[in-house]
Structure 1
């Protein structure tokens, strides 16, 4: 069509052909614009349905939270926060879409929405993103970040993060563009409207997903087998020699969120403070010797009705024993220089009717005692008590007396050989400790000696290096092993001296 000499008729045919191609292009463009418009309508209808569906889910969760606040209260609190944020972003985009179409006579004349002027001026100015454009992106980022905070470590968080991604994008030529420019600059109005409606759809979908995830999480916890524990139930709680056991092992659900509305035991209402975590605390008097029966009811609220679960059980009260029970809270050893805790009691005898004697033994309160042993070898604790019938019982128990084991010198809470730079050694604090000792003791260091290879041993008072020690340290070389020994320490509070403290070494690294 372009080469050679052409007749007027041929030139006219060529011109008509070009016009025909242009018309085809215009028709295709109009079809695309119409397709965007129809897509926008479908998304808007879907958003309306999603809003109604989410509203029903919010109401269902609110009902569950009112009935079982401990179990569903946190889920409702989180979804309520998400709902507020979702409404804010959804309405913000709605207002922006209204501004974009405010000058149109017919908001469904999609074929005429082929201009990009509104957003090109609203989102961009002088080749840069405007304040309004930055606000738009910030609103989306804020919603994403707060939604991720509520969802926590759930798998859904990754989906939401990708759903509202606003990172820079590379176009088909490989040129890096901002997310806002890539999606909105130079695009027809109807295309931008549809993209915004899609973001609104993503907001509604995120609400729906979060409601499902948070509610499903609570339901999964409620039915999880980890909430069950095996309970051994005997027909009575005490047996005599020669009797056969009679009882059963059952699985019971341990739900800390399950609280009864009312509990009745043996005709009396249980106090509300004793009804908690799916349990009822029984702390009344056991009664006289013999078999006892427990009968009652659990009352639970379920919707508008009350479910009643019967209670049936029993226990036995047996005569009190006449032998003392003595237990050492820290094994059958007591340590010199320490206040060793002991529990001394005689079953069935009140603490004020029990007398315990031994060198260094002192009652603290009730059945609690402390012993500061004296001497070496063993100490015998003699216990006597008066039973309710007036008869006397007594019992003795021997404990070994041991000294506090050797402590270890420590630097930076480490013992043995500690590696560190030479510059750091001058600032060390020397300490002493008792790793793996039964008592959690704090030891005070009063003095030590330090030996730098090739230098005279320097004595030090306190816990930090003195001037002489630092001077000797200045001559230390790389890989030299500095030894801190003859550490003097005592127990904080009592000043009881530790007989031996093992040395600690420092290897100079540079």
Structure 2
């Protein structure tokens, strides 16, 4: 946003107002009243000068438009200048009428001395400006000044900020610090316990602010038709490099030069015909680069045209420059222990890296035929749900590529039978009275376990053991994974046999979910 630029005269007026505010807090003496009279006279003289200057600016705008090749195209500028002066003049006149009534409240002007008859009058000033029930004319003035700022802002250049003219104590930098003042509104702050000369000086200061705002907008309009001299008051150093990215061993080339902009006007700037935002006189170029037609080195040659349009003393001018740049084709590598295939329903963890993009590498992922779970930058977990899964790699909103993977089913585990903690050998058999426990263990495929350890968690869900003698069943037990066969061992004899059957296997995946795997296996263990 742009603030208002103050001339030395305007700064002097502002300083006078600060002095006025400070003097109001002091006990008023005849000497101080005389100072207020002098202050008001100075403000009125400055206001008259500002009014004449603003009229001259309007005449300059109209004269310059007549000199331009197509005057009709700038009729709106002339209309706006007249409108600015009209609304400013209305507020100044309203304040001038208030000043006349303030003088009347002090008994008017003494024809012999030319001075206010009763300059110390405060009560009548209060009744006039604040009034009973807060219906004094100061409130009307405050409303008019707020309306003036609103209308002026609609005409001024975008980003121009006009401070409020009718500040209450809470918004005043001095009064807000005073516990006795901070709750007063504009009228009470400026006209309560205020003698006639001080009230007049306050009103004259408001007229000065109105004229200052008017001058600011007229200056902006004058710049649009070249009626205002352009002063380049913002100077800065600039570096223009041939390339922002170079390979080690290559020369880095750039030019350093002085550039300047003007705070007095805002040129119109565009990129390929579209308007650009302008900050401190400099257009802000930002756009998403697009690839395509890459050469063998992975570079795509691109260009854009930037234009600057402004009003020169000889008429409208537009300067254009075409800038060439190159787009590097983004590449990436996928690192995973599970390539070239992934496992169905499992956490297949991938790392996708792009050395060429460096700090700009911040990819996002989606998948067709599966679910993606984002991790740290470049890390992704794919959970396939189909025979093939396609990973979509996107960076900065641009799709870089698609990678398709084959999907394998989870390999079936190998189930082994253990007795008393050791693996059972069916050929050798086991002791009829010594075997006390039988356990079935589901062991994951070693290759699958090494790549997907969180999904390689198997267990036998049900095991059945029966003691057989000849063609008869002596007894049986059932358990989950392992069973205690002590009750069967107490009845077992040499020559008997155990019939062992695995009826189910379960797998717990990386999410903690358990699935049943159809699995049956049986063994016969002779007892001796």
TM-score, length of structure 1 as denominator length: 0.37
TM-score of the two chains, using structure 2 as the length reference? 0.35
Judging by fraction of residues, say which structure has more helix: 1
